[in-house]
Amino acid sequence: IGFLNRGSHVRVVQGAPFLMTFSSKIKKKYFVYMIFSKKRNATYVGYTSNILKRLNLHNSNKGAKFTRGNFWALVFSKSFISKNIAMKYEYKLKKNQVLRKKLLNSYLLKNK
């Protein structure tokens, strides 16, 4: 016996019909983020599935080439349930200088 009931996520293992394992569908989240370097007076926009790990990579000179050699602070982040949607939003944010400036000004006002 071996079946997977997709509605309840119950799996019966072949050879052991009384042994059931429950699998949870874990949705992976994706984040679009904007970071700021005071030294360069510059922002950087990207996407990731692990925002803390990615920020640490940027600050340890292992991130994107543009971000190397500077300390970066997280200015903005937004979560998405789909990588595709996150990538589309990242593209829009990269191109929208007005929105980036608003987000940065909001961050700077809060962190005086």
| pTM of the model as a whole | 0.74
**Helix (H/G/I), strand (E/B), else coil: 18:** coil
The average confidence (pLDDT) of the chain is 83
First and final CA of the chain: distance in angstroms? 64
pLDDT of the residue at 18: 46
Average pLDDT over residues 17-35: 70
pLDDT of the residue at 10: 44
Confidence of residue 112 (pLDDT cuts 50, 70, 90): confident
pLDDT of the residue at 16: 45
Q: Packing angle between helix 97-110 and helix 83-95, nearest 10 degrees?
A: 90
Judged against a pLDDT cut of 90, whether residue 55 lies above it is answered with yes
